[in-house]
Structure 1
């Protein structure tokens, strides 16, 4: 994008901020380069990826003025309504201009179906196209990460990542009338107020949401934490990533790029360019990257830039392993098949791939639904939208402040399957780990999965770890739950025939571990129980799929194979933070094993999924990463 167009886009956004009144502040932004010829020959840090993590780390590294930083981003500056709109947060997922969308490899256990792989491709990354939901999971998720490093449990446990959750967000309490009407509880001790990434609340909620939440709390063992950020399971309200000063989506670009306090000549950004590989000197030290224009299809004569201190990968769970592998860091056999010289044989690169499957339980329709409006009607009714737009324009209130929703149940296995959870955990723990991993999986990766298996079996037995998630949408038609800790593991690899330009091969390997099926049978049974035995039964629920007559475990799983979606667009794990002998790719300092001056700071470092959607956790990882990097500068 030409510099003049970027300037016009910023002027347009500045006008919006001025119009939106109190609390708005002028926009000053990083120096965006018009063309590669304006680059410095070298920077202290070169960051690959200008998304959620990359822009957060770049902001923190440049704020003192001590270090120079270049961010290289495949996408460009986008400021359309699908990016900025606070309400109707689903718009980003429908906009092909801001994402890369392509099919996974066919999934044999899903009847050969493929799944959509979607990656935010713009300045700001996936934080500019997500559903804006802000929840962080349970304490036990982060203590589990720390347990993979038994000699040093202090770096990534709950107590030590909580300060970064607080640093990452500027929390705004809900309006008192909204809190009272919906029984919203919050505790500001779990939040900060200094970040330019905002967590706030709509001016109203869908009226049925509080009814659904109350029904979940009728189930024995379902609690209501004092705050969504307290690290406890339960059924509760949580904020959205919306800036209430301007009622726009709050994401990495306005928060960490054009939301910085003063123009920084030490912070450069070049959009519209594809990083091909990391360059190494003396075989092992990362010295910079090779890259081309996003429109180029040849790796001949690439551009290069040098990093004096570190190359920092923030390209995301799908593209970070692709870049590592194309650079010679990854499984030796894969690299040799692509004729890529091996820098480090690191078998964990691209392994351990996980995402949150959804539509993993019954879809329910409430045939007696007296609440108005029904979100299902709202999003497809032009009259409702027009009336809501008029209210929003006049008062900054109404349904257009709701985003994607602000309530959910995050529940443990002892709560949803009180008579079955122990047996499921025991059978899962007794598995031969290698039996359900990809054929030929390296022994280190197998050992790593064994460590995860032990930890996740423990989590199944705990009331403090959530496996079941039901997004409380306040609508007459509920699509079913989400599995927070899938036990199957997939892969992300380069295409050996074209490692630089071909799309990566993404294989979710959904339902390849039979223990996932055991969990999903219990999800189905529990969801039926919620709608049949609580106050929700008065709304005449009808099961649309699989159908109330489908009751045997085999029949439930067979039906799910034709309907389950293996991705909620929360991919993690392909450059896992674990010991190297457990298939890890980065250490606790987020440094890549076997090389120097190369780190990874995005969702790919999560060894396993948190019991929540991943936005808030990625920001916290990036905030902590910035401190780790500065400490070793």
Structure 2
């Protein structure tokens, strides 16, 4: 790659060309009067089959040209295991290597952001940006019949944004249909579109797949496609690392003046006339702030970094959706992704995909989902039992916990998300990458039921351990450090026993007397907690480490996403989430980035 001409200054320098950074860059460069630079550490894989082919995502994990491949420090509450975290190290960021699932938050989740002191943030104010970001294609007749989409899919919620979202044709009655029917028998039939901000029950989630090509639609292709890249006022610089932001003090505020970058051609300083926008993700946006002297004084001074803004909130308030994975052996007739362990099968399917316009399972996502209130092996728990649990575990009050409690107390707000993942999951004490977790290790064929905690109370951290940008920050998620998290997860694991013992899932999907991993039946709460400790990993939804909160409540950015103590450094990515929304978060990242682009444009006009 030839480094473009960077001699002239830019109005906006965007640090990170991931999900949020690509979105903001595309929207800001719509204005021909401003000059925009995107600096992305990884390469551009917009034409790479491993990225574009939905079924080949495992080929990216653990490879430095695709994946940052973070690992946590050992987690005491998880039998001292380390947890792996795939993070996109390429243009498009994690939208290039995620599992393509497109889910949406609830109204209560986003309204809570505003209630924490963020004027201008509510569900109604953010909702238009979900639509602006994407085009949701009409599901096919087979998809509607098998998964019951006609009961709840609201075609009036259609939109016309750059991200392409679709429902595939790879669903089967034996797997996806049985999932829907089983939840209906459990009293959890979906009746409202999950995009509406209120949903309980099983449903077929769409995926970020372009139905015309059967390829992954992600930030790099959707927002930084060939037409956008031809804009003369936009420069996209890949394989370049931002080392720090250079600032000066003006009229009592810190002003970003430039960024220092490292490319293969050497180090260079690039000036920013208006703003520096951090979009490096929940791990690396706080890292860049700390390397630039914005963070806790004690930490910065311990690494010899001059303190520009003393704010120990940087890198704190980190949240993640924990996910507990239980794998069950399936009937011989049930389609399982585990068959891809056979190289002959994989080669045949790749040939089908490449020669038949994306036909076959490699161009599909067949994961199904469900939103469920707090439940155990008897089903949804009573209001009295829920209150008792919350009273026991929530001894301390704070604004975040009070709002989360009010959400959990609602009978039609999901405490847990379930995913039906059509392959086995293997978990070790120190996985080398996500590939080790999802590539089949057992000879049998499995499906995995995944229990996701929608509203974690535990708060972790991410901080630098060196003034060198090439040394990864240390990630400590502190999973289950708040006692309520494992209590809800364990009850959710108990509810899995209810699912797998209910027809038609029990007989249509699972093999009679088949194996399970772990080989533990969650007959009681202690057994369920043992499963959590053995089988909990990350769902790759890290957020909150540069929280949009009042500074005295742990905030790093204000409601316009400007870093406290500065006049022109903004953060736009999942790190600004004050509270983790339910479900997979990529839809919320896109919406936040769309809204942020308008905030930035408004501030320039004003």
* TM-score bucket (shorter structure): 0.7 to 0.9
From 277, 291, 295, the equivalent of 1:312 is 277
Contact 1:364 1:480 in 2 (8 A): no
| Aligned residue in 2 for 1:188 | 155
**1:101–1:119 Cα contact (<8 Å) kept:** yes
Q: Which residue of 2 aligns with 1:229?
A: 195
Q: Which runs of 5+ in 2 are unaligned?
A: 424-445
1:480 counterpart SS class: strand
SS state at 2:185 partner: coil
Q: Please name the residue that 2:532 is paired with.
A: 560
CA distance in 1, matches of 2:261, 2:168: 42
C-alpha deviation, 1:391, in angstroms: 4.1
1-side partners of 2:34 and 2:401: how far apart?
A: 42
Q: Where does structure 1 lack aligned partners over 5 or more consecutive residues?
A: 3-33, 297-301, 434-449
Change (3 A) 1:262 1:527: closer
Match of 2:399 in 1: 451
Determine if contact 2:457/2:484 at 8 Å carries over to the other structure.
yes
Alpha-carbon distance in structure 1 between the residues aligned to 2:417 and 2:408: 14
Structure 1 Cα separation of the partners of residues 144 and 352 of structure 2: 21
TM-score normalised by length of structure 2: 0.88
Q: SS of 2:284's equivalent? A: helix
What does 1:230-629 correspond to in 2, within 5 Å? 230-231=196-197, 232-260=199-227, 263-282=230-249, 284-293=254-263, 302-359=267-324, 362-366=326-330, 369=331, 371-377=333-339, 379-392=340-353, 393-403=355-365, 405-413=366-374, 416-419=379-382, 420-429=385-394, 431-432=395-396, 450-474=398-422, 476-495=446-465, 497-538=466-507, 539=510, 540=512, 544-548=516-520, 551-565=523-537, 567-629=538-600
Question: In 2, Cα distance between the equivalents of 1:556 and 1:224?
Answer: 27
Go from structure 1 to structure 2 and tell me whether the alpha carbon gap of 1:281 and 1:498 turns closer, same or farther (over 3 Å shift): closer
SS for the counterpart of 1:160 is helix
* Mapped contact 2:182–2:502 kept (Cα < 8 A): no
Q: What is the distance in 2 between the residues matched to 1:603 and 1:262?
A: 25
Residues 4-30 of structure 1 deviation map (CA, whole Å, 9 limit, x = unaligned)? xxxxxxxxxxxxxxxxxxxxxxxxxxx
2:177, 2:57 → 1: CA distance?
20
**CA deviation digits over 1:108-135, x for unaligned, max 9?**
2222221223221111111111111111
Helix, strand or coil at the partner of 2:74: coil
Could you say what secondary structure the match of 2:584 adopts? coil
Residues in 2 aligned to 1:479 and 1:306: alpha-carbon distance in whole angstroms: 50
Alpha-carbon distance, 1:524 to partner: 1.8
CA distance in 1, matches of 2:105, 2:591: 12
- SS of 1:482's partner is strand
Q: Secondary structure at the match of 2:138?
A: coil
On the 8 A contact 2:313/2:555 being kept in 1, the answer is yes
Within 1, Cα distance between the matches of 2:454 and 2:287? 25
Deviation (angstroms), 1:511: 1.6
Q: Report Cα offsets for 1:225-259 as digits up to 9, x if no partner.
A: 44331222321112111112222111111111124
What do you get for the CA RMSD once the two structures are aligned? Answer: 2.3
Deviation at 1:474, TM superposition (A): 4.8
Shift of 1:581: 1.5
* CA–CA distance in structure 2, aligned partners of residues 556 and 183 of structure 1: 31
Matches within 5 A, 1:113-262: 113-149=81-117, 152=119, 155-185=120-150, 186-193=153-160, 195-207=161-173, 208-220=175-187, 222-231=188-197, 232-260=199-227
* Structure 2 CA distance for aligned equivalents of residues 627 and 546 of structure 1: 48
Deviation at 1:314, TM superposition (A): 0.4
CA deviations 1:164-212 (Å, max 9, x no partner) are 000000121122233234322322332311x221001223314411111
Distance 2:228 2:261 in 1: 30
Distance 1:406 1:74 in 2: 31
Aligned residues: 566
Question: Deviating runs (4+, > 4 A) in structure 1?
Answer: 545-550
Distance 1:255 1:480, change over 3 A: closer
The answer to whether the 8 Å contact 1:253/1:259 transfers is no
Q: How does 1:96-111 map to 2 (within 5 A)?
A: 96-111=64-79
CA distance in 2, matches of 1:358, 1:111: 15
Contact (CA 8 Å) 1:417, 1:522: kept in 2 or not?
no
Shift of 1:294: 6.3
Tell me: CA distance 1:387–1:184, structure 2 relative to 1, closer, same or farther (3 Å).
farther
Residue 125 and residue 381 in structure 1: after superposition, are their counterparts in 2 closer, same or farther (change >3 A)?
Answer: same
After superposition, the Cα gap between the structure-2 partners of 1:541 and 1:586, relative to the gap in structure 1 and judged at 3 Å, is farther
Give yes or no for contact 1:314–1:602 (8 Å, CA) kept in 2. yes
Q: Higher mean Cα deviation, 69-78 or 204-213?
A: 204-213
Deviation sequence 1:279-313 (CA, Å, 0-9, x none) = 111261112211212697xxxxx421111111100
